[in-house]
Chain A
Amino acid sequence: MQVAGRPEPLTFRQARDAEAAIRQLPDGSISRITLYGHGSPGMQTVGNDAYDPDSAAAMLRGKMARGGVVQFSGCNTASIGGASVNPAVGISMAARRLLYFSLPYFQDRLDGVPAAQAREQWEKTWDADLSRDTSLQMRGTVVCGYRTFGLVPGRLPGLTRLLGNQEATTPGYVAGKKVCYQDGREVPEP
C-alpha cells in the first residue's frame, strides 16, 4: 500500500493486519494498493482470507485517494474480455471455461443437481469480473485485474527451489493480460 505522507509502502502478509491498518488511515490517503495472492473469477485471496467485490469495496471505500489504484494481482480477477489473436490468451480462456464452468457443472450434474440450476449457477460464475464489479462500488478509483491466468516467476516450483525462496510474497511481475476499470468502464492502465 502506498499511503500519502509515508515514503515507504506498507506491506502485510495477512489480510486482517492490513484491514486493521487501513481502518486507521485517514480518508483518501491510499494512492495505490495491491492485493497479491491466488485469484479466481469473482474472488481474490490474500493470505487466509478472500475478497469479493462487496468485501473489497467495504474495506477500501473512502480510504482511496481520487484516482487511486486498486490492483488485484491474482488470476482471472477480471472477465475474459473480447476475442484475441494471442494464442496464450486463447488457451487461458479455454482453461478458464473448462475449470470454472465445465468441471463444476458436470460435478453438480453427477451429484444430481438439475441441469438448469447448474447451468445458471456456473454460467454466472465462470466469467465473473471482480475488478469491474469492485470499480462500480468505488467511484473514481481505478481497479485493475487480470483477464487471464497469471504466470508468476517467483512461484514456479523448480525456480523457487533453485533460488532458495519460499512462495513469492512481494508483488512482482505477473505475466498475464491486465485490464483496468474506473466506474465500471475500461480505462488505460495508469
Chain B
Amino acid sequence: MTDLGYLLEAILLLALPFVPIAVGVLLRRKFSAAPAAEGAEAPAPTGAQKAGRVIGAILIGIGAASILFMIVVLLNFKGYL
C-alpha cells in the first residue's frame, strides 16, 4: 500500500467509533414519538418505538465509550496518564 492507502486506513480506523453513534442517532430520530396534533395529547410510544430508541441510545453509548477508550489509550501511550 502507498502512503495514501495507509492514510485512508488510519482515517477509517479513527472513524470507527463514530459509526455506532451515527446509527444510534438515526434510530432515535426514526423511532421518535409522533408529534401531537394541536390541542391533543401526544400518542404513547409503541413498543417498537421504545425498543428502537433504547437500541439507539445503547449504540450512542457504545460509540462514546469507544472514543473515550481511544483517548485514554493515546494519553497513556504518550505518558500523560
Contacts and interface: CB of A to CB of B under 8 A. Distances in A.
Interface stretch (B27-35, B43-51, B66-74): B66-74
A87 B2 contact: no
Contact of B70 (A87, A91, A102, A157): A91
Interface stretch (A26-34, A55-63, A92-100, A139-147): A92-100
A91 B17 contact: yes
Contacts, number: 44
A91 B69 contact: yes
A109 interface: yes
B26 interface: no
Given A98-B13, A98-B14, A105-B6, A91 B66 contact: yes
A119 B69 CA distance: 27
A115 interface: yes
A157 B16 CA distance: 26
B6 A94 contact: no
A102 B74 contact: no
Contacts of A97: 9, 13
Contacts of A102: 6, 9-10, 13
Interface of B: 1-3, 6-7, 9-10, 13-14, 16-17, 20, 62, 66, 69-70, 73-74, 77, 81
